[in-house]
Chain A
Amino acid sequence: MTSISSASPAFTGKDPHNRLFGPLPDVTAEAGYDEDHPARVGFFTDTSVCIGCKACEVACKEWNTLPMDDSHGTRDVIGLSGMSYDNTGQLGANSWRHVAFIEQVRTVDLPMPTVGRPGDDPRGSVLNAEALTEFDPQTGQSGTDKQVRWLMSSDVCKHCTHAGCLDVCPTGALFRSEFGTVVVQGDICNGCGYCVSACPYGVINRREDDGRVFKCTMCYDRLTDGLMPACATACPTQSIQFGDLDELQARADARLATLKEQGVETARLYGRDEDDGVGGNGAFFLLLDEPEVYGLPPDPVVTTRDLPAMWKAAGKAALMIVGVAATAVFGSRRPR
């Protein structure tokens, strides 16, 4: 759950020899795949067209046969969360897609007086009116006195260019697939949980009654059959778009430009920048507000960024890590 700010003093800039940080044009080749490997794929989640239907959550659970929240399939443990229409809460071992709902309201300084009605208390006015453009034209509003905006966004594993979970996994349970995605191998994972704290987004998590960790695989199995991931297949409004990452990036840039043109000043891309703390994301977003509003870290940095520097400085430490890895190997035989 750690997120490190890139403003940290430890940040020393780009190191061309650091393969755990900075832009990486071909993450798949970096992971040892032949030159003719498939293009890196990803998700572009355009929250400006999300209608919060949660089809992504359900389609994901159906395809990946994920359990209900409590993993027994009998009773929802969370109950009514009270967080708008979000009763899933967050991404976790059993929820690989999660739709956040953010209700925003703001009082408006009226540019014009309300219709003069005797007896109306302007402060207490609860009358409703024309959509103004204070939020932006992409979102519905109502009210001259108050404007309401309801943001929805489907979150998912970011499939980072530099994936902390992958870098720290001592057993090789996490791997980079030929599609450039980051996937947990259930037949390897021993449930050590290092990856859980290594993820700057708090995505990967352990399933309580199972012990192992689980997260979005970008439907690795479906990709091998030439299909799109279940969530992107279901998404009614194409808020979740799947495809070759470079194409998605171009599409996202164009979409952002269109929105800006329409005066949607609040629109921004998140996870698109290859120079960010995780080398850019395989799953990135178009947001209509600050990332924090959606529960996303504003400036995530891969937790293993400084690993090479540390090793250079301390060979002993490296040996120790080898030792740790060996321990993990022998200690990881899970009874079946």
Chain B
Amino acid sequence: MICRSEGRAFGQPDPAGGGSIDGVKTWLDAWPVFRQLTGPDPLGRGRAARSRGTEAVVSRTATADRVAASVCPYCAVGCAQKVYVENERITQIEGDPDSPISRGRLCPKGSASKQLVTSPTRVTKVRYRRPYGTEWEDLDLDTAMEMIADRVLEARRKGWQEVDGPPENRHRVNRTMGVASLGGATLDNEENYLMKKLYSALGAIQIENQARI
């Protein structure tokens, strides 16, 4: 017969074992050779070989603090995702089997969603490149917002048109040609709505989206 042991050192009692009889029994049970010789797994390939790590295995889906209902951000099939969160960190993203469309399945991109959102190369600080600059610089978010607001107003002013068209066909247009925008089609409806509303109120019309492409 095969005699097997495991990598843990001999003579190191389980800390939980203490010194009682029960403790000795627990300690002995924890010793694979003992298990193997006394249990129903004489070849030591199954129950007797289970390590402490194995006994402690728990699925991280089971320990999540909460599961958010989400939707895959890649193509337009709209596969439902379950987003597992533990200690405010995303620990898993997988398909939601309840979805009548996707039935819990995901493609490689959808399956890589966790990597998408936890990617170490994600940029998480504002970056700024000044005109004719050769390097990126740091910039505070609030400052950036104020600077952008300044520039929007200036570009809007520079590109403002009250009327447009050739002299014989001139019409009121009430708009600016100074500010343009191009959005991706992973924008939420609510985001698109605020964008179109704000831009229209500013008079900007060159507002476009990946949907054109």
List the interface of chain A (C-beta within 8 A of B): 19, 28, 30-33, 53-55, 57-59, 62-63, 166-167, 169-178, 183, 185-190, 220-222, 224-225, 227, 230, 233-236, 321-322, 325-326, 328-329, 332-334
Contacts and interface: CB of A to CB of B under 8 A. Distances in A.
Contacts of B39: 32
A322 B108 contact: no
B6 interface: yes
Interface string B49-86: 11111100111111000000000000000000000000
Nearest to A326: B5
Contact of A33 (B47, B107, B114): B47
A185 B95 contact: no
A326 B5 CA distance: 8
B179 interface: no
A70 B114 CA distance: 20
B61 A225 contact: yes
B106 A171 contact: no
A174 B4 CA distance: 11
B92 interface: yes
A198 B146 CA distance: 66
Contact of A176 (B46, B61, B105): B46
Contacts of A172: 4-7, 32, 44, 48-49, 51
A221 B45 contact: no
B48 A32 contact: yes
B2 interface: yes
A188 B7 contact: yes
11 contacts: A31-B46, A53-B107, A57-B108, A166-B45, A176-B45, A187-B54, A188-B51, A224-B57, A236-B105, A329-B6, A334-B7
Contacts of B111: 55, 58-59, 62, 230, 234
B46 A221 contact: no
A165 B10 CA distance: 24
Contacts of B51: 172-173, 175, 185, 187-188
